[in-house]
Chain A
Amino acid sequence: MTTDSLTSNVVLPTKRDEAWRYAPHRTLAELSFGPPNGSIASVPAGLLDDIPVLDGLCVVVVNGIVDVGRSRLHSLVRGVTVSSRAAALATDRAASTPGDETPSPTDAYVVLNAAYGVDGALIEIEPGVVLDEPIHVVDISIPDHLGGASCARTHIHLGAGSSATVVETRISAGSGFGGSNVCTLVSLDDGAELEHVVLQDLPSSQVHLGRVEVDQATRSTFRARSFNTGGAYGRLEYHVVLRGPEASADLAGLYLGSGEQVLDQQVTVVHAAENCVSRQAFRGVLDDESTGVFNGGIDVRPGADGTDASQSNDNLLLSVRAEANTQPRLEILADEVSCTHGATVGRLDDDALYYLRSRGVRAEGARRLLIDGFANQIVEQVGAGPVRAWISHRLGYRDDG
């Protein structure tokens, strides 16, 4: 990829930006962005074999371009469209895709993504359609050894009363420096229901910048399940706007850090209508010298009376040098609001370890059981069974079903 004038002209965030406080700015500055270079042939053999739930509908995106050959785009279910955004744009189908304009706070990486993310998955579910099998979007960035980061944009639109599960996996190959910058724009019409799972598992030499923007109409439901575990810096950002009354957003996430990883969750839920419910429940397991960040905002706009919002962030530190940072941001400008938040940072419980060992479980196994137990409480919140099983497998946990 070539660095063009846009890359050199955008103003990168700094440590002084609250939302970027723990990011490795020097590393980020070395990333370069540009239009997709179009080479999609270089996917290493075996990379995709590891993703069993690719059986169903899937969109494979390589370096920002949909690889039609590796994707499975044809749905047997009527009213389900899964395609390449670029291809759809070419035929003008996506011209009306909502959410293309970016209404929420923006930064340099959003600008770069908007400029260079010309392709990605387009998922359209027509009103009333209930899709049981998950749709899988796999974003693969293959490093070019010049620090190039690929950009892709996923658009998901669920019509009124429809429901679907979308899984987005972000991976890469090799040990070179690079990464990916993926924006997902979700728009849910009245009563629509989406379960959206993100698994970020890039190699630890790379950087992932992920952003999910959600716009929710009346009585729609958005369930986010995020698994942030790869990258030197892995960032998952959610910006959810509850625009219609009685909408509900339920966000749960797990971040698993080791080495010197920095895993950053930036979550904002905007209550812009009456009687909406939101929940944020994020957990971190941090080993070695890794850093976890949870910056969670609840923004209750004037008139959003009857808001019920909660937030929790629990961290398990496995090493004395690991670090967890929690930053709640609550802004409440409405009445009859219930807003709770809490955060914990703890270590493995000695009494629990002893209890397990007294039952014959070896020390290391006992540690593993406790860590898995802590993390599993997020994994088990994935509603779609096969996806849950696969996430468990991928993270090295068991699935109790």
Chain B
Amino acid sequence: MLHVENLTVSIGDKRILRGLDLDVRPGEVHAIMGPNGSGKSTFAHALAGREGYDVGGTATLDGADLLEMEPEERAAAGVFMGFQYPVEIPGVNNMYFLRTALNSVRQARGEDEVSAREFLEVAKRAMQLVDMNPDFLQRSVNAGFSGGEKKRNEILQMAVMEPRLAVLDETDSGLDIDALKVVASGVHALRGPERSMVVITHYQRLLEYITPDFVHVLVDGRIVESGDSSLALHLDDHGYAQFLAVAPGDEQRSLAATRS
């Protein structure tokens, strides 16, 4: 379903992704872990279509070339990215935004738009899934939301958009223990044979709730190790040190390693 091959991203002179390969089949959940600054968010944004990236390699969803598409076309193709830092948009009503988003992708797919009443039902179900107070629908998008509330709002959007591929960037960061459970069970509920997920996280904890089919370690813009969910446990105990030393092809890194 998602096929990524030799994906490279540079921003200005800075090379951030250095040839990333990843294949995700329908229904699979892949976790990506890795040190700060290793390129996890950059990978997510490269899939979602952020501007300002110099992108090389391949990324296709169901055979369609994502890299050729505008961000909104990717959304219509079924990509949803949960932001590590959701953007505050004062003055734009959350509910109106959600309905506009849903209808935009429906329209792009040649489907009928949902009416205000139909949408209310969709929103209600989604709210229940993430145990969110309906008041949040009447507020401006993320404006003044706490860190955890923003993350819930991301999952709410995912529940409304029903994407084919969800890329969740640190959706578990900033959540309290109860919220983590709620969000995790929300994510779990949205799993399905036709929906794939790429879950970026720093914590084994989330993965206890959402058992991933695969865990990948991203270091310096490359996947350096892949395994099953036990890899996450291993990382939890041992950290990334072993991967940092062997990250291949990175002159600066090996130089630093020799020095120390």
Interface residues of A (CB under 8 A from B): 349-352, 354-363, 365-366, 369-370, 372-377, 398, 400
Contact = CB atoms under 8 A, between A and B. Distances in A.
A372 B92 contact: yes
Given A362-B104, A375-B91, 6 more contacts: A354-B87, A357-B72, A358-B72, A359-B104, A370-B89, A377-B90
Interface string B68-86: 0011101110001101001
B101 A355 contact: no
Given A373-B90, A374-B91, A398 B49 contact: no
A376 B91 CA distance: 6
A356 B90 contact: no
Contacts of A366: 72
B91 A361 contact: no
A350 B93 CA distance: 19
Closest CB pairs A-B (n = 5): A373-B91, A360-B75, A360-B105, A373-B92, A359-B101
Contacts of B51: 350, 354
Contacts of A370: 89, 92
Chain A interface helix/strand/loop/mixed: helix
B171 to A, nearest CB: 15
B89 A361 contact: no
Contact of B72 (A362, A374, A400): A362
A355 B72 CA distance: 10
A360 B161 contact: yes
Nearest to A374: B91
Nearest to A357: B71
B188 interface: no
Contacts of B88: 352
B204 interface: no
A351 B105 CA distance: 20
A400 B93 contact: yes
A373 B97 CA distance: 10
Nearest to B75: A360
B91 A372 contact: yes
Contact of A373 (B80, B108, B138, B140): B140
A369 B72 contact: no
Interface in B81-117: 81, 83, 86-93, 96-97, 100-102, 104-105, 108
Given A354-B71, A355-B83, A360 B89 contact: no
A367 to B, nearest CB: 12
A354 B45 CA distance: 10
B104 A352 contact: no
A351 B157 contact: no
A192 B80 CA distance: 53
Nearest to A376: B91
Contacts of B91: 372-377
